[in-house]
Structures are given as structure tokens and as C-alpha cells.
């Protein structure tokens, strides 16, 4: 199951990606927002990140105007590896090397076709493990060191 969320700046692209995921036969849940009224992106970043960390969803996709705010917010949740990507190579590497469990996109900087290509590349990629797992273990250690008890 994939959970997808956006703020008002990513709403239009979220709708496109929701349809794209359904065409790919992916189970998808919409975490909001559902209209173009101004909302705060951290609320949706948190909602999607918590669903991924809890196992309610396997993967997440977040969209705001640039993707920057959503990636910052989501990465505050321990266990999240949210990757803001702008090209297919980055999307693939986000999964292959970083095992990104949330893909972050900019709704005001990507067109619909490019965004679908990025999501497809990320979904089709496989985490390589090995030396990359050792690096992720170091990230987990950083999360543990700096998390409040």
C-alpha cells in the first residue's frame, strides 16, 4: 500500500499521481489535502511519514510546491528516508542506494509526465543492500543519538 499526501501546492499533481498509481494496480491511500485552500505541509508530511513508519503503508509519496518543505518535515520522523528527486536517475538511486521509503516531489516544478516517470522509476527500482545498508545503519545510529528519549 502506498500513501500519498500533499499540501495545496501539490494537490493537482497528487491527483495525477493517484490515478497513475491506480493504473499501475498499486494500492493507494490519499492522506489529503483534498482542496486548494492553504494548508501547512508539515501536517501532511507527518501523516504520511507516521503511516509508513507504523507499517500502515509500505511506501509514501509527498508533494508540496517545491518538495523541499515536505522532505524536511518527513525526515524528522525516525525511520523515514524521504528523498526529494527531480530526475529519473535520482529517483532510481533513492531506492537502490538509500532505500527511500518516501518519494518527495515538487508540484510547481514538475510536469505530470515527468512526475509519473519519477514515481515509476522509484517503484521499479530495488534496494541493493550491501555497502548501502551499512550506510543506512549509520543514519539510524544518528537518529537514535539525536532523538529525545
Active centre residues (catalytic): 97
Angle at 82 between CA 115 and CA 44, to 5 degrees: 80
- Cα–Cα distance measured from residue 121 to residue 124, given in angstroms and rounded to the nearest whole number: 5
C-alpha distance from residue 17 to each of 61, 132, 136 (Å): 9, 28, 28
What cell was used for 8? Answer: 495545496
Amino acid at each position: 500500500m502506498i500513501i500519498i499526501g500533499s499540501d495545496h501546492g501539490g494537490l493537482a499533481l497528487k491527483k495525477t499521481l493517484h490515478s497513475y498509481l491506480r493504473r499501475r494496480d498499486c494500492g493507494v491511500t490519499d492522506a489529503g489535502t483534498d482542496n486548494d485552500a492553504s494548508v501547512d505541509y508539515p501536517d501532511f508530511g507527518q501523516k504520511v511519514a507516521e503511516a509508513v513508519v507504523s507499517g500502515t503503508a509500505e511506501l509514501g509519496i509527498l508533494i508540496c510546491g517545491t518538495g523541499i518543505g515536505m522532505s524536511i518535515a518527513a525526515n524528522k520522523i525516525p525511520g523515514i528516508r524521504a528523498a526529494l528527486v527531480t530526475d529519473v536517475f535520482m529517483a532510481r538511486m533513492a531506492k537502490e542506494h538509500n532505500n527511500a521509503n518516501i518519494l518527495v516531489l515538487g508540484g510547481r516544478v514538475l510536469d505530470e509526465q515527468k512526475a509519473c516517470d519519477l514515481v515509476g522509476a522509484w517503484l521499479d527500482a530495488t534496494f541493493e543492500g550491501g555497502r548501502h545498508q551499512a550506510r543506512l545503519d549509520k543514519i539510524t545510529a544518528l537518529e537514535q543519538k539525536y532523538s529525545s528519549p
